[in-house]
Amino acid sequence: MKNNLSVWSVTITASLMFSTSLEAQIGAVNALKSKAKSATEKATDNTTEKNESSESSSKPETKPSVAIAAEDMKAGQGYFFTTFKANGYKSEVTASEELYVRMQLGKTMIEWSQEKGIQADYTAYGFISVFIDGEKVFMTKPISFASNISKQWAYIDIPLNVSPDFLKQIESDQSMLETQQDIWMFQQLFQENSIPKQYGAAAMSKLASGNHKVKIEFGLGQSDSNEPMAVICTGEVAVKSAEGGSNALAKFGPKHLRPLNDNEKGQFQFASASFEPGTSDISAVLNLPKPPKYYNMKWCQASSCDYDHGYIEFYVSIDGKPLAAWSKSLEGDDYQVTKQFNMSILPKTDASYDVVEAPFNSSKLYDNTNPIAYALWDMLYGGKLSQGTHKLVIKAYSRQSIPLNTAYEFEAAYFAKWPAIAETSIDLTINANTINNMATASSAKKLSHATGDWVAVDNHLKQSSINAQVVDVATKTEWKVVTSSLGVILYRTCKADVVYTGEYGTRLQKGVLVKEDYAGGSYGKPYFAERIEVSHGPSLLGTMHMPVPLSKMK
C-alpha cells in the first residue's frame, strides 16, 4: 500500500475487501453495534484462554491504565495504550500485550513543518523511529501524509503490537473503522512492511526476559530525507518480559517469525559429529516431524498456501561464514507426505563431479548439482581451509519464513533472523595431508588440446586478461560462421574450456564462447566473448564451473 492516505480512498488488499465500498462501510458505521473495545476484549479473552496454562504463572504484573483527558495531554509526548481504542494510558506494559501509542503532536504536521523550517504546503513527511533499551531498532522511510491528514490531525495513533485474534476481527468487521485515524491504523496493520511487523520482529529479538524501555519518536522531514529534520513527539514505556510473556509475544509478532515448538523441529543427522574430508563420504539425513508443506502452511503469509508444491530453503556456513544457500521446489508426496530426505555433503573423492547425474548430485533437496560439495572442494583445493577443526552448520527453512530469495541475501546475519525448520552442526578436521591426498585422488585432468590451427588460437587466448591468471585454454569445437541477412560474413565463434587461478583458487570453466570478428577479407584475433566468472564465490559452482587442484592442471 502507499502511505499517501486519503480518507475516502485507501487501497486495501483484495482479500480484505467487501463488495461495498470503503466509504459506504464507514458511513454506516454508527448503525453497527460491533465496537472495537468489545472486539478487543474478546480477542484478549481468546488469547488468555489459549495461553493460560503455560503463561499465566509467569506473566508479570503491570501498572493499570490511567484516564487522561485530551486537553490534559502534553504536546510532544507519546501515550501508550493496550486496546484498539484508547481508553486509558499506561507507563508500564508486558511484552505480550497489545500496544499502541498516541503521539500527541499538539499542532498539525503542516504547522510543525512551517515552525521548523521544513517545506510542506500540503503534504508532510513523517518518520517513526523505535528504540529498545536505547538502541534504534528501526525507522520508517518518509511516510507521505496528504493535506486532509497533515492539516487536520493534532495527534497520530500508531499500532505496535497487535493480537492475531484482533487482526481477524478487523478483517471480517471493518465497521471498527470510525475515523481517519482508524484508516491510518488499518493500513499499518496490513501493508507489506508495516510498523507492527517491524516492531514485532525487533521485539522478538530484543525483549528477552527482564525489564526494558521502548521509546518512539515521531519526526518530520522531506520526501528525500534520510533522517527526520525535526523530532516533534517522543513517548517511552517500560516493558516487562517473562518467559511466558516472550512465548506470547511470538504469537503476537509477525507470522513468519514465530518459533517452532520442540515437537515441530527437524534435524540433520550425521553418522558422526566430526569428519576428515577425503577419508570417507560425508552424508546426512534430514528428518522432519512434519512434511515440508506443513511448515509452509504454518508460516503462510499469502491468502493461501494450500498447494501440492512448494519451496524449502537451505543455508550452509563454515566457521560462521556463508558457504552455500539455495532453494528447492518439492512436488507431490515429496512435498505433502515425505518427512525424511537423504543428502550427500561431501564425497570421499570428486569422481564424476563434472556429471550432473553423479550420485552425490541426486538428492531431492538439490537442483541438479550439490552446492555444498562444490563449495567445499573449492575451499579445500584453493587452500581456504587451514589445518585444524572447522564447524559446518546447515539449516533448512520454510520459503514462507524468509521474506526474500536466499540468493540475494547471502550473509550470516540475514539467516540468523528467521526460524529454521532444522539446524545441525558438524566438525570438519583438516590435517597436513588432507588437501594433498584429496588433490591426488581428484579426477581432474589436464585439458586436451586440438592440433593444427587451433594451437595458435589456444596460445593467444592464454594471454587474455580476465582479472585472474589463465593457466590453460583448450578450444573444443569447430568454427561456426555467422552472416548477415544478405550473406555477408560478420564473425565466427567456437567454444573453449578455460582453467584459471584467482582469488578462491584454481577452477575450470567449460564451454566459454570465443569469437573472431571478420573485416577486410580476414578474421581478427580470437577473444573471449563470454564472461569468465572469476568473481563467483564457492556457492556458485557446479558441473560447468568447477574447482580443480592446480597440481593436476599444469
What grid cell was written down for 441?
A: 585422488
Q: What's the pLDDT score for residue 367?
A: 87
Distance, in Å, from the CA atom of 458 to the CA atom of 446, rounded to the nearest integer, reads 14
Return the half-sphere exposure (C-beta side, CA atoms, 13 A cut-off) of residue 187.
20
pLDDT value at residue 260: 86
Q: Binning pLDDT at 50, 70 and 90, where does residue 554 land?
A: confident
Q: 29 exposed, middle or buried (CB, 10 Å; 0-12, 13-18, 19+)?
A: middle
| Cα gap 521→146, rounded to integer Å | 68
Q: How much is the pLDDT for 404? A: 62
**Looking at residues 215-241, what average pLDDT do you find?**
95
pLDDT at 285 over 70: yes
Residue 293 has pLDDT above 60, yes or no: yes
What is the pairing mode between strands 230-241 and 522-523?
Answer: unpaired
Confidence bin at 59 (pLDDT 50/70/90):
low
Confidence grade of residue 501 (pLDDT, cut at 50, 70, 90)? very high
- Predicted pLDDT of residue 25: 32
- Minimal CA–CA distance to 131: which of 229, 232, 213? 213
pLDDT of residue 49: 36
Average pLDDT in the 128-136 region? 96
251-283 pLDDT tens trace: 766 777 778 888 999 999 999 999 999 999 999
| Residue for grid cell 460491533 | 34
pLDDT confidence of 55, banded at 50, 70, 90?
A: very low
Task: Please determine, for residue 4, whether its predicted confidence score (pLDDT) is greater than 90.
Answer: no
> How many whole angstroms separate alpha carbon 498 and alpha carbon 482?
23
- The residue-averaged pLDDT of 219-246 equals 89
The pLDDT > 70 percentage for the chain reads 86
pLDDT value at residue 539: 87
pLDDT for residue 408: 60
What does the pLDDT look like over 186-205, one tens digit per residue? 888 777 778 988 898 888 87
- Provide the grid cell at 311: 519451496
Residue 22 has a pLDDT of 31
Give the pLDDT confidence of 525-539 residue by residue, as tens digits: 999 999 999 988 898
Share of the chain above pLDDT 90, in %: 61
**Where does the pLDDT of residue 18 fall: very low under 50, low under 70, confident under 90, or very high at 90 and above?**
very low
Cα separation, 554 vs 552, whole angstroms: 6
Residue 257 pLDDT: 75
Give the H or E element holding residue 246: helix 243-252
Which of these ranges, 75-89, 140-154, 248-262, has the smallest mean pLDDT?
248-262
Q: Taking residues 51-60, report their average pLDDT.
A: 44
DSSP-assigned beta bridge partners for residue 497: 474
Q: Cell for 536? A: 563467483
- Cα separation, 216 vs 138, in Å, equals 10
122-128 mean pLDDT = 95
More confident residue, 9 or 152: 152
Does 208 or 233 have the greater pLDDT score?
233
> What pLDDT sits at residue 194?
86
DSSP 542: B
Helices (H), 299-418: 332-336, 371-381, 412-415
Higher pLDDT, 94 or 167: 94
Mean pLDDT of 107-125: 94
- Split at pLDDT 50, 70, 90, the class of 113 is very high
Backbone angles phi, psi at 37, to 5 degrees: -60, -50
Place of cell 454508527: 30
Phi, psi of 466 (to 5 degrees): -135, 25
pLDDT of 338-368, one tens digit each? Answer: 999 999 999 999 999 999 999 999 999 998 8
For residue 373, what is its C-alpha cell? 560439495
- For residue 437 the three cell numbers come to 591426498
Task: State the chain's mean pLDDT as an integer.
Answer: 84
* Alpha-helical regions (H) of 416-502: 434-441, 454-462
Q: Report the pLDDT value the prediction gives residue 114, as an integer from 0 to 100.
A: 94
Cα-flanking dihedrals φ and ψ of residue 303, to 5°? -70, -25
pLDDT at 430: 94
pLDDT reported for residue 45: 38
Question: pTM for the whole thing?
Answer: 0.69
Q: Which residues pair with 11 in a beta bridge?
A: none
**Cα 295 to the center of its chain, rounded Å:** 16
Residue 237 has pLDDT above 60, yes or no: yes
Question: What is the Cα–Cα distance from 357 to 338, expressed in whole angstroms?
Answer: 23
